[in-house]
Amino acid sequence: MDIAVVKSSGETTGRKINLDQEVFGIEPNDHAIYLDVKSILANQRQGTHKSKQRNEISGSSKKIKKQKGTGGARAGNIKNPQFKGGGRIFGPTPRDYSFKLNKKVKDLARKSALTYKAKENSISVLEDFDFAAPKTKQYLAMLKSLSLNDKKTLFVIPEVKMNIVLSGRNVRNSKIITASQINTFDLMNADQLVLVESSLNSINNILK
């Protein structure tokens, strides 16, 4: 699949670049995408939720009334979960939500996501560029010239370029990552994938 290479100003370069079919043209696997996205979101969970159990509530452990003869249900101490201020039954406890996913499944998921983007014509390729200084105004002007200012975009640069990262880090609906950070969740979450030309080689080396 050939895609035209454009400049950051929106002008065409007159060149086209071919997207590798092994990465951008496979048979998509929806279940692999589901597993990888689930894994990414699970790994982001802190898992620090906690509620006090019956043995952790402060209060007397004395039986509050006699067992029989009151006409009401039997009751133990005031830490009983049925009473206001008592412990919580089967409450949340700290736990690790992360789970292991095989590298081949992750690679398949990323290739599938890239293939979907290619099929939807949601990939743009930019000629290599850099900003002379961090300027958000310049980053926004670039989005506008590429007609992407109203879309959720994912910029993939070959390596960390601080002027670009600092210019776009506070822009709403736009995320900048390096080729080594590419992941299924960000790919599927973006409306438009913008690849800086030299990042393609890195992506191909990672996924092939």
Residue 2's pLDDT is 86
Count of structural domains, the chain: 2
Let me know whether 103 and 174 are in one domain: yes
Let me know whether 38 and 124 are in one domain: yes
pLDDT confidence bin for 1, thresholds 50/70/90: confident
Residue with tokens 């890239």: 114
Let me know whether 160 and 188 are in one domain: yes
Q: Return the C-alpha torsion angle 44, 36, 24, 117, nearest 10.
A: -60
From the list 195, 126, 98, the residue with the least C-alpha distance to 156 is 195
Let me know whether 62 and 124 are in one domain: no
Mean pLDDT in residue range 10-34: 93
Is residue 194 pLDDT above 90, yes or no?
yes
Let me know whether 117 and 194 are in one domain: yes
Let me know whether 137 and 191 are in one domain: yes
Q: What is the CATH number of the domain that holds 15?
A: 3.40.1370.10
Let me know whether 92 and 118 are in one domain: no
Q: Sheet with 174-178: list strands edge to edge.
A: 12-18, 2-6, 123-126, 192-196, 153-157, 174-178
Let me know whether 125 and 190 are in one domain: yes
pLDDT one-digit tens code per residue, 107-133: 999 999 999 999 999 999 999 999 999
> What's the pTM?
0.84
> Residue 64: which domain range?
47-96
First to last CA, the chain: 17
